[in-house]
Protein backbone atom coordinates (compact mmCIF):
# COMPACT_ATOMS: atom_id res chain seq x y z
CA UNK A 1 0.00 0.00 0.00
CA UNK A 2 1.52 3.27 -1.17
CA UNK A 3 0.36 6.32 0.85
CA UNK A 4 1.33 9.99 0.51
CA UNK A 5 0.52 12.37 3.36
CA UNK A 6 0.22 16.11 2.86
CA UNK A 7 1.20 17.94 6.05
CA UNK A 8 3.94 17.43 8.62
CA UNK A 9 2.06 18.51 11.72
CA UNK A 10 1.19 16.10 14.50
CA UNK A 11 -1.88 14.69 12.74
CA UNK A 12 0.13 13.92 9.63
CA UNK A 13 2.98 12.37 11.58
CA UNK A 14 0.70 10.29 13.81
CA UNK A 15 -1.02 9.04 10.65
CA UNK A 16 2.35 8.25 9.10
CA UNK A 17 3.39 6.20 12.11
CA UNK A 18 0.22 4.13 12.35
CA UNK A 19 0.07 3.58 8.58
CA UNK A 20 3.72 2.52 8.38
CA UNK A 21 3.28 0.32 11.43
CA UNK A 22 0.60 -1.57 9.50
CA UNK A 23 2.91 -2.02 6.53
CA UNK A 24 2.18 0.93 4.26
CA UNK A 25 4.89 2.56 2.17
CA UNK A 26 4.48 6.12 3.51
CA UNK A 27 5.91 9.46 2.45
CA UNK A 28 5.07 12.70 4.30
CA UNK A 29 5.28 15.96 2.36
CA UNK A 30 5.67 19.15 4.41
CA UNK A 31 6.05 22.49 2.65
CA UNK A 32 7.97 24.04 5.56
CA UNK A 33 9.42 22.54 8.72
CA UNK A 34 7.67 19.93 10.83
CA UNK A 35 4.88 21.39 12.95
CA UNK A 36 5.27 24.93 11.63
CA UNK A 37 1.56 25.32 10.86
CA UNK A 38 -0.27 24.82 14.15
CA UNK A 39 1.43 22.17 16.28
CA UNK A 40 4.49 24.12 17.40
CA UNK A 41 2.30 27.06 18.51
CA UNK A 42 -0.24 24.96 20.38
CA UNK A 43 -0.87 25.27 24.13
CA UNK A 44 -0.84 21.48 24.30
CA UNK A 45 -4.15 20.93 26.10
CA UNK A 46 -5.44 17.36 26.43
CA UNK A 47 -8.97 16.98 27.76
CA UNK A 48 -12.07 14.82 27.56
CA UNK A 49 -14.51 17.49 28.75
CA UNK A 50 -16.30 18.01 25.45
CA UNK A 51 -20.02 18.29 24.79
CA UNK A 52 -20.44 15.90 21.83
CA UNK A 53 -20.02 12.11 21.88
CA UNK A 54 -17.53 12.02 19.02
CA UNK A 55 -15.20 14.58 20.61
CA UNK A 56 -15.31 12.78 23.95
CA UNK A 57 -14.56 9.47 22.27
CA UNK A 58 -11.69 10.93 20.25
CA UNK A 59 -10.27 12.22 23.53
CA UNK A 60 -10.65 8.94 25.40
CA UNK A 61 -8.95 7.01 22.59
CA UNK A 62 -6.16 9.59 22.34
CA UNK A 63 -5.56 9.84 26.09
CA UNK A 64 -4.91 6.09 26.19
CA UNK A 65 -1.91 6.81 23.93
CA UNK A 66 -0.79 9.98 25.72
CA UNK A 67 -0.75 8.12 29.04
CA UNK A 68 1.67 5.52 27.66
CA UNK A 69 3.55 7.77 25.24
CA UNK A 70 6.87 7.79 27.06
CA UNK A 71 6.83 4.02 27.57
CA UNK A 72 5.81 3.30 23.97
CA UNK A 73 7.79 5.94 22.08
CA UNK A 74 10.67 6.62 24.45
CA UNK A 75 9.93 10.34 24.60
CA UNK A 76 9.04 12.30 27.72
CA UNK A 77 6.39 14.80 26.54
CA UNK A 78 6.14 16.61 29.91
CA UNK A 79 2.59 15.32 30.33
CA UNK A 80 0.97 16.94 33.38
CA UNK A 81 -2.56 16.26 34.60
CA UNK A 82 -3.80 18.97 36.97
CA UNK A 83 -7.19 18.78 35.26
CA UNK A 84 -9.40 21.22 33.42
CA UNK A 85 -11.90 23.46 35.19
CA UNK A 86 -14.77 24.94 33.16
CA UNK A 87 -16.64 27.74 34.93
CA UNK A 88 -20.08 29.10 33.96
CA UNK A 89 -21.37 32.62 34.60
CA UNK A 90 -24.76 32.07 32.94
CA UNK A 91 -27.53 29.74 34.08
CA UNK A 92 -27.99 28.36 30.57
CA UNK A 93 -24.33 27.35 30.48
CA UNK A 94 -24.65 25.74 33.90
CA UNK A 95 -27.71 23.74 32.83
CA UNK A 96 -25.78 22.41 29.84
CA UNK A 97 -23.02 21.25 32.22
CA UNK A 98 -25.33 18.65 33.74
CA UNK A 99 -25.96 16.96 30.40
CA UNK A 100 -22.31 17.17 29.43
CA UNK A 101 -21.05 15.57 32.63
CA UNK A 102 -23.54 12.72 32.21
CA UNK A 103 -22.37 12.22 28.61
CA UNK A 104 -18.73 12.19 29.69
CA UNK A 105 -19.32 9.87 32.65
CA UNK A 106 -21.13 7.38 30.37
CA UNK A 107 -17.91 7.18 28.36
CA UNK A 108 -15.63 6.67 31.34
CA UNK A 109 -14.55 10.27 31.94
CA UNK A 110 -14.42 11.09 35.69
CA UNK A 111 -15.73 14.64 35.35
CA UNK A 112 -17.87 16.15 38.11
CA UNK A 113 -20.32 19.04 38.43
CA UNK A 114 -19.32 21.57 41.11
CA UNK A 115 -20.74 24.63 42.74
CA UNK A 116 -18.47 27.70 42.68
CA UNK A 117 -17.16 27.19 46.22
CA UNK A 118 -16.28 23.57 45.46
CA UNK A 119 -14.46 24.78 42.35
CA UNK A 120 -12.14 26.90 44.49
CA UNK A 121 -10.78 23.68 46.00
CA UNK A 122 -9.13 23.08 42.63
CA UNK A 123 -8.48 26.72 41.69
CA UNK A 124 -8.13 28.68 44.95
CA UNK A 125 -7.91 31.99 43.11
CA UNK A 126 -11.21 31.56 41.26
CA UNK A 127 -13.62 34.45 41.88
CA UNK A 128 -16.42 32.17 43.05
CA UNK A 129 -18.91 35.03 43.33
CA UNK A 130 -18.75 35.56 39.55
CA UNK A 131 -19.88 32.03 38.67
CA UNK A 132 -22.87 29.78 39.12
CA UNK A 133 -21.37 26.34 38.39
CA UNK A 134 -18.27 24.53 37.18
CA UNK A 135 -17.08 21.16 35.93
CA UNK A 136 -13.76 19.46 36.63
CA UNK A 137 -11.99 16.33 35.47
CA UNK A 138 -8.73 15.18 37.09
CA UNK A 139 -7.54 13.26 34.04
CA UNK A 140 -7.38 16.36 31.81
CA UNK A 141 -4.08 18.19 31.43
CA UNK A 142 -1.47 19.25 28.90
CA UNK A 143 1.80 18.18 27.28
CA UNK A 144 4.63 19.72 25.29
CA UNK A 145 3.56 19.81 21.61
CA UNK A 146 7.15 20.01 20.32
CA UNK A 147 8.25 16.91 22.21
CA UNK A 148 5.15 14.99 21.14
CA UNK A 149 5.71 16.01 17.52
CA UNK A 150 9.29 14.80 17.63
CA UNK A 151 8.19 11.56 19.27
CA UNK A 152 5.73 10.78 16.48
CA UNK A 153 8.23 11.86 13.81
CA UNK A 154 10.90 9.51 15.12
CA UNK A 155 8.37 6.69 15.52
CA UNK A 156 7.17 7.21 11.94
CA UNK A 157 10.74 7.04 10.63
CA UNK A 158 11.47 3.92 12.68
CA UNK A 159 8.31 2.34 11.24
CA UNK A 160 9.68 3.02 7.75
CA UNK A 161 8.03 6.28 6.75
CA UNK A 162 9.95 8.87 4.74
CA UNK A 163 9.49 12.52 5.81
CA UNK A 164 10.28 15.27 3.32
CA UNK A 165 10.37 18.86 4.54
CA UNK A 166 10.57 21.99 2.37
CA UNK A 167 8.57 20.04 -0.20
CA UNK A 168 5.22 21.50 -1.21
CA UNK A 169 2.44 19.49 -2.79
CA UNK A 170 1.31 21.47 -5.82
CA UNK A 171 -1.29 19.15 -7.29
CA UNK A 172 -3.29 16.05 -6.43
CA UNK A 173 -4.11 13.87 -9.40
CA UNK A 174 -7.40 12.14 -10.13
CA UNK A 175 -8.31 9.53 -12.69
CA UNK A 176 -12.07 9.55 -13.03
CA UNK A 177 -13.57 9.39 -9.53
CA UNK A 178 -10.44 8.40 -7.64
CA UNK A 179 -7.17 10.01 -6.56
CA UNK A 180 -4.07 8.46 -8.08
CA UNK A 181 -1.15 10.47 -6.71
CA UNK A 182 0.37 13.92 -6.43
CA UNK A 183 3.02 16.29 -7.65
CA UNK A 184 5.42 17.82 -5.13
CA UNK A 185 8.08 20.48 -5.53
CA UNK A 186 11.16 20.48 -3.31
CA UNK A 187 14.73 20.49 -4.57
CA UNK A 188 13.20 18.93 -7.65
CA UNK A 189 9.64 18.46 -8.86
CA UNK A 190 8.31 14.93 -8.92
CA UNK A 191 5.07 13.15 -9.62
CA UNK A 192 4.29 10.27 -7.32
CA UNK A 193 1.67 7.60 -7.82
CA UNK A 194 -0.17 6.60 -4.65
CA UNK A 195 -2.98 4.28 -3.64
CA UNK A 196 -4.04 6.89 -1.10
CA UNK A 197 -3.34 10.56 -0.49
CA UNK A 198 -4.04 11.85 3.03
CA UNK A 199 -4.88 15.51 3.54
CA UNK A 200 -3.52 16.50 6.96
CA UNK A 201 -2.59 20.03 5.95
CA UNK A 202 -4.19 21.92 8.84
CA UNK A 203 -4.71 25.60 7.92
CA UNK A 204 -3.86 24.78 4.29
CA UNK A 205 -6.36 21.92 4.11
CA UNK A 206 -8.92 23.71 1.97
CA UNK A 207 -6.29 24.62 -0.63
CA UNK A 208 -4.98 21.07 -0.73
CA UNK A 209 -8.47 19.61 -1.09
CA UNK A 210 -9.23 22.02 -3.92
CA UNK A 211 -6.32 20.61 -5.95
CA UNK A 212 -8.12 17.27 -5.74
CA UNK A 213 -11.40 18.85 -6.85
CA UNK A 214 -12.89 18.56 -3.37
CA UNK A 215 -14.46 21.51 -1.54
CA UNK A 216 -14.42 21.61 2.27
CA UNK A 217 -15.29 24.51 4.60
CA UNK A 218 -12.01 24.61 6.54
CA UNK A 219 -10.27 27.94 6.98
CA UNK A 220 -7.47 29.42 9.08
CA UNK A 221 -8.19 31.40 12.22
CA UNK A 222 -5.47 33.32 14.02
CA UNK A 223 -5.39 32.73 17.79
CA UNK A 224 -3.02 34.17 20.39
CA UNK A 225 -1.45 33.18 23.69
CA UNK A 226 0.81 34.95 26.16
CA UNK A 227 3.09 34.13 29.06
CA UNK A 228 2.51 36.27 32.14
CA UNK A 229 4.02 36.80 35.54
CA UNK A 230 0.79 37.05 37.53
CA UNK A 231 0.47 39.38 40.48
CA UNK A 232 0.12 36.24 42.60
CA UNK A 233 1.97 33.14 41.36
CA UNK A 234 -0.28 30.40 39.97
CA UNK A 235 0.45 27.06 41.70
CA UNK A 236 1.41 24.24 39.34
CA UNK A 237 -1.45 22.05 40.55
CA UNK A 238 -4.11 24.55 39.45
CA UNK A 239 -6.10 23.16 36.49
CA UNK A 240 -6.33 24.77 33.10
CA UNK A 241 -9.21 27.08 33.91
CA UNK A 242 -11.75 28.26 31.33
CA UNK A 243 -14.23 31.10 31.89
CA UNK A 244 -16.58 29.57 29.35
CA UNK A 245 -18.96 32.50 28.93
CA UNK A 246 -16.22 35.05 28.22
CA UNK A 247 -13.71 32.81 26.42
CA UNK A 248 -10.87 33.64 28.82
CA UNK A 249 -8.59 30.83 29.94
CA UNK A 250 -5.27 30.31 31.70
CA UNK A 251 -3.06 27.50 32.93
CA UNK A 252 -0.01 27.34 35.17
CA UNK A 253 3.49 27.36 33.78
CA UNK A 254 6.71 26.78 35.69
CA UNK A 255 7.76 28.99 38.61
CA UNK A 256 4.37 30.61 39.12
CA UNK A 257 3.98 31.92 35.59
CA UNK A 258 0.83 31.38 33.52
CA UNK A 259 -0.21 30.92 29.94
CA UNK A 260 -3.18 33.19 29.23
CA UNK A 261 -5.47 33.13 26.21
CA UNK A 262 -8.93 33.94 25.00
CA UNK A 263 -11.01 35.02 22.03
CA UNK A 264 -12.60 38.44 22.45
CA UNK A 265 -13.94 41.46 20.57
CA UNK A 266 -16.54 39.79 18.38
CA UNK A 267 -14.81 36.41 18.24
CA UNK A 268 -17.40 34.73 20.47
CA UNK A 269 -18.53 31.24 19.67
CA UNK A 270 -21.31 30.95 17.12
CA UNK A 271 -24.24 28.60 17.26
CA UNK A 272 -24.78 25.79 14.79
CA UNK A 273 -27.71 27.75 13.38
CA UNK A 274 -25.55 30.75 12.47
CA UNK A 275 -22.86 28.42 11.12
CA UNK A 276 -25.48 26.81 8.88
CA UNK A 277 -26.42 30.25 7.57
CA UNK A 278 -22.80 30.93 6.67
CA UNK A 279 -22.41 27.63 4.86
CA UNK A 280 -25.52 28.40 2.83
CA UNK A 281 -23.93 31.67 1.74
CA UNK A 282 -20.54 30.11 1.04
CA UNK A 283 -18.77 31.31 4.19
CA UNK A 284 -16.84 29.55 6.93
CA UNK A 285 -17.89 30.27 10.48
CA UNK A 286 -15.44 31.79 12.94
CA UNK A 287 -12.63 32.12 10.39
CA UNK A 288 -10.50 35.12 9.51
CA UNK A 289 -11.38 35.87 5.88
CA UNK A 290 -8.15 37.78 5.30
CA UNK A 291 -5.85 35.35 7.12
CA UNK A 292 -3.21 33.94 4.80
CA UNK A 293 -1.65 30.82 6.36
CA UNK A 294 1.55 31.55 4.44
CA UNK A 295 1.93 35.08 5.77
CA UNK A 296 -0.11 35.65 8.91
CA UNK A 297 1.22 37.81 11.73
CA UNK A 298 2.91 35.51 14.25
CA UNK A 299 3.44 38.29 16.80
CA UNK A 300 1.16 38.96 19.75
CA UNK A 301 -1.11 42.01 19.60
CA UNK A 302 -0.47 44.24 22.61
CA UNK A 303 -4.08 45.42 22.82
CA UNK A 304 -5.26 41.82 22.84
CA UNK A 305 -2.67 40.94 25.50
CA UNK A 306 -3.83 43.71 27.81
CA UNK A 307 -7.43 42.58 27.45
CA UNK A 308 -6.51 38.93 27.95
CA UNK A 309 -4.83 39.64 31.28
CA UNK A 310 -7.71 41.89 32.34
CA UNK A 311 -10.25 39.17 31.51
CA UNK A 312 -8.18 36.61 33.39
CA UNK A 313 -8.27 38.96 36.36
CA UNK A 314 -12.08 39.00 36.16
CA UNK A 315 -11.94 35.21 36.47
CA UNK A 316 -9.24 34.68 39.12
CA UNK A 317 -7.42 36.75 41.73
CA UNK A 318 -3.97 35.73 40.47
CA UNK A 319 -4.10 38.46 37.82
CA UNK A 320 -4.06 42.09 39.00
CA UNK A 321 -2.65 45.43 37.87
CA UNK A 322 0.88 44.36 38.77
CA UNK A 323 0.81 41.34 36.46
CA UNK A 324 3.52 41.46 33.79
CA UNK A 325 3.34 40.21 30.22
CA UNK A 326 6.57 38.42 29.34
CA UNK A 327 6.04 37.29 25.75
CA UNK A 328 3.43 35.90 23.43
CA UNK A 329 2.75 34.54 19.98
CA UNK A 330 0.03 33.80 17.47
CA UNK A 331 -0.78 30.55 15.70
CA UNK A 332 -3.50 29.17 13.49
CA UNK A 333 -6.54 27.05 14.10
CA UNK A 334 -8.00 25.22 11.11
CA UNK A 335 -11.69 25.75 11.78
CA UNK A 336 -14.91 24.33 10.43
CA UNK A 337 -18.33 25.94 10.89
CA UNK A 338 -19.20 23.57 13.74
CA UNK A 339 -15.75 23.26 15.36
CA UNK A 340 -15.55 19.55 14.49
CA UNK A 341 -13.10 17.96 12.06
CA UNK A 342 -13.65 16.25 8.76
CA UNK A 343 -12.37 12.67 8.97
CA UNK A 344 -13.37 10.59 5.96
CA UNK A 345 -12.44 9.15 2.60
CA UNK A 346 -13.92 12.00 0.57
CA UNK A 347 -13.40 10.39 -2.83
CA UNK A 348 -11.75 7.04 -3.57
CA UNK A 349 -8.13 7.24 -2.48
CA UNK A 350 -8.42 10.67 -0.83
CA UNK A 351 -8.58 10.57 2.98
CA UNK A 352 -9.02 13.78 4.93
CA UNK A 353 -8.23 14.45 8.59
CA UNK A 354 -8.63 18.21 8.82
CA UNK A 355 -10.46 21.08 10.51
CA UNK A 356 -9.90 20.19 14.16
CA UNK A 357 -10.58 23.78 15.26
CA UNK A 358 -7.90 23.81 17.92
CA UNK A 359 -8.21 20.15 18.99
CA UNK A 360 -5.82 18.58 16.49
CA UNK A 361 -2.92 18.16 18.91
CA UNK A 362 -4.86 16.34 21.58
CA UNK A 363 -6.83 14.18 19.12
CA UNK A 364 -3.85 13.26 16.94
CA UNK A 365 -3.24 9.74 18.31
CA UNK A 366 -6.83 8.60 17.70
CA UNK A 367 -6.91 10.37 14.35
CA UNK A 368 -3.73 8.66 13.17
CA UNK A 369 -5.23 5.29 14.00
CA UNK A 370 -8.49 6.19 12.26
CA UNK A 371 -6.64 7.21 9.10
CA UNK A 372 -4.88 3.85 9.10
CA UNK A 373 -8.23 2.09 9.51
CA UNK A 374 -9.77 4.01 6.61
CA UNK A 375 -6.83 3.12 4.37
CA UNK A 376 -6.45 -0.54 5.31
CA UNK A 377 -9.95 -1.55 6.42
CA UNK A 378 -12.13 0.82 4.41
CA UNK A 379 -13.94 1.94 7.55
CA UNK A 380 -13.27 3.24 11.04
CA UNK A 381 -13.77 1.09 14.13
CA UNK A 382 -11.81 2.83 16.91
CA UNK A 383 -14.37 5.66 17.08
CA UNK A 384 -17.69 6.13 15.33
CA UNK A 385 -16.85 8.99 12.95
CA UNK A 386 -20.07 8.89 10.93
CA UNK A 387 -20.91 12.39 12.21
CA UNK A 388 -17.62 13.80 10.85
CA UNK A 389 -18.33 13.43 7.15
CA UNK A 390 -18.11 16.57 5.04
CA UNK A 391 -21.62 16.01 3.71
CA UNK A 392 -22.99 17.27 7.03
CA UNK A 393 -22.42 20.83 5.87
CA UNK A 394 -24.60 20.36 2.82
CA UNK A 395 -27.26 18.48 4.78
CA UNK A 396 -27.37 21.06 7.56
CA UNK A 397 -26.50 18.35 10.09
CA UNK A 398 -23.92 20.41 11.94
CA UNK A 399 -22.67 19.42 15.35
CA UNK A 400 -22.34 21.86 18.24
CA UNK A 401 -19.38 21.87 20.59
CA UNK A 402 -20.19 24.06 23.59
CA UNK A 403 -16.83 23.72 25.32
CA UNK A 404 -14.79 25.80 22.88
CA UNK A 405 -11.62 27.17 24.45
Q: Is 380 within the bounds of a domain?
A: yes
Q: What is the pLDDT of residues 206-239, one digit of tens each?
A: 999 999 999 999 999 999 999 999 999 999 999 9
Q: Is 403 within the bounds of a domain?
A: no
Q: What is the pLDDT of residues 354-375, one digit of tens each?
A: 999 999 999 999 999 999 999 9
Supply angle C-alpha 108, 113, 115, rounded to 5.
Answer: 165
Model pTM above 0.85: yes
Q: Is 304 within the bounds of a domain?
A: yes
Q: Is 349 within the bounds of a domain?
A: yes
Residue 263 CB partners (closer than 8 Å, separation 6+): 223, 247
Torsional class of 83: left (φ above 0), alpha (ψ -120 to 50), beta (otherwise):
left
Give the domain extent around 300.
2-395
Which range, of 262-276, 320-334, 337-351, averages the lowest pLDDT?
262-276
DSSP string, 67-130: HTHHHHHS-----B---EEEEESSHHHHHHHHHHHHHHHHTT---EEE-HHHHTTT-TTB-GGG
Helix, coil or strand: residue 216:
coil
Q: What's the CATH number where 206 sits?
A: 3.50.50.60
Confidence grade of residue 290 (pLDDT, cut at 50, 70, 90): low
Q: Is 401 within the bounds of a domain?
A: no
**Total structural domains within the chain:** 1
Q: Is 265 within the bounds of a domain?
A: yes
Residues of the chain with pLDDT > 70, as a percent, come to 93
Amino acid sequence: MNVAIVGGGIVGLASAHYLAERGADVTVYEKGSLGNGSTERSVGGIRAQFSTPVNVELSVASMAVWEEFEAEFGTDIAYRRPGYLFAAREEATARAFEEQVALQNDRGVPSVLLDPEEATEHCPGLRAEEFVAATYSPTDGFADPHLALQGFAEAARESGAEIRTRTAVTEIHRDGEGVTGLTAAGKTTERRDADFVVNAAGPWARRVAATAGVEIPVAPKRRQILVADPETPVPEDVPLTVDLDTGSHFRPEREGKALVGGHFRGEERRSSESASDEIASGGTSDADPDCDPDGFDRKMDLDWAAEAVERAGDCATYFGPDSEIRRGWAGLYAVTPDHHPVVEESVPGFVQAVGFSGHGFQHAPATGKLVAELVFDGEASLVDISALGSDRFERGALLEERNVA
